[in-house]
Amino acid sequence: MASLRDIRKHISSVKSIKQITHAMKMVAAARIKRAQNAILASRPFAIEMNRLISDLYAELAEGDFSCSPAAALFEERPPGGPLCLVLVTADKGLCGSFNTNLLKAAAEWLRENRGRKLYAVVVGRKGRDFLRRLKNLDLEISFELVGIFPKAGYAHAQLLAENIFRIYSSRRVESVTLIYNEFKSMLAQRIVAERLLPLKSHILEGGMEPGGRRGADFIFEPDKPLLLEALLPRHVGAQLYRALLESQAAELAARMSAMESASKNASELIEGLTLRMNKTRQAMITTELNEIVSGSEALGG
């Protein structure tokens, strides 16, 4: 049976842990509002940029654009070539199943493409460490970006886009897949696995083909291919920036929820330990009283 001293030490340690988890919850709660505002500000820009690229691509005839360097971002490459994975995770733990679900999705993607040459672009220490531990895979981490959360900015998205373009063009990868956590609410996140490159199938979701008509005629300056070529890097950067902000907000929400649950469990544990301590102390007092009474009766006898 544990002594009173052991129980008091246990209570003290749990109280210390509760203070830490409560502080982490409050920090995450203070940051989540700013992260939500950043998402709300970036979503319309990313959506409108996607619509602009789609409209401009639909305006082009095949002959107007096929010779442009940016046309490589739309072409479907022969199947069986190398693949690239862009994985966005957290730098730290203590955020519930946030990282676990991401790593499961990444592991499933790697399992499906086992046997092929794979390149990885990793954001976050958890994803980087996970991929480094993998064996028996033809996997190369081509670029990593760690320590940017919770202050992810557009400059980080541009840096990611530059390295993704470099890998896509120099390594001749078949496609680039992006896996990240999308912020849905304070209690829910959704794993997103979408194809980032090539762009054609994504741009033509609405069924428009090059040379199709969508709205009124416009006069373009510079010409359409040059404008599209200039906009495409910004488009990919905007999509990556949105993914970073979504992941950042989802991580903060997951951490706040996990720390709230940990603080609640700590309170319940403290209550149970306090009750146990009181029962132990009461039993000790009762035992001492019985010994005193027994000694008194023995002396009186």
Indicate whether 238 belongs to any domain: yes
Is 189 a domain residue?
A: yes
Kindly tell me if the per-residue pLDDT of 206 is higher than 60. no
CA gap 278, 179 in Å, rounded: 52
Active site residues: 95
Structure tokens at 56: 């401009």
CATH number at residue 131: 3.40.1380.10
* Residue 208 confidence class, pLDDT cut points 50, 70, 90: very low
Number of alpha carbons in the 13 Å side-chain half-sphere of residue 123 = 30
pLDDT for position 212: 47
**In a domain? residue 275:** no
246 to 101, 234, 250, 300: CA distances (angstroms): 15, 18, 6, 81
pLDDT digits (tens, 9 = 90+) for 125-176: 999 999 999 888 889 999 999 999 888 888 999 999 999 999 998 888 999 9
Structural domain contains residue 3 = no
pTM of the model: 0.82
Answer yes or no: is 98 within a domain.
Answer: yes
End-to-end Cα spacing for the chain:
34
Domain count across the chain: 1
Residue 223 has pLDDT above 80, yes or no: no
pLDDT tens for 72-81 read 777 788 888 8
Q: Are strands 175-183 and 189-197 parallel, antiparallel or unpaired?
A: antiparallel
pLDDT of residue 62: 52
Residue 9 belongs to a domain: no
Q: Which domain range does residue 74 map to?
A: 22-258
Check residue 203 and give its pLDDT: 64
d(CA 96, CA 54): 38
Closest Cα partner for 252 from 196, 173, 187, 205? 187
Residue 125 lies in a domain: yes
The confidence score (pLDDT) of residue 201 equals 59
Residue with tokens 């070529």: 229
Q: Is 80 exceeded by the pLDDT of residue 297?
A: no
More confident residue, 193 or 184: 193
176: in domain: yes
Radius of gyration for the chain, computed over Cα atoms and rounded to the nearest angstrom: 29
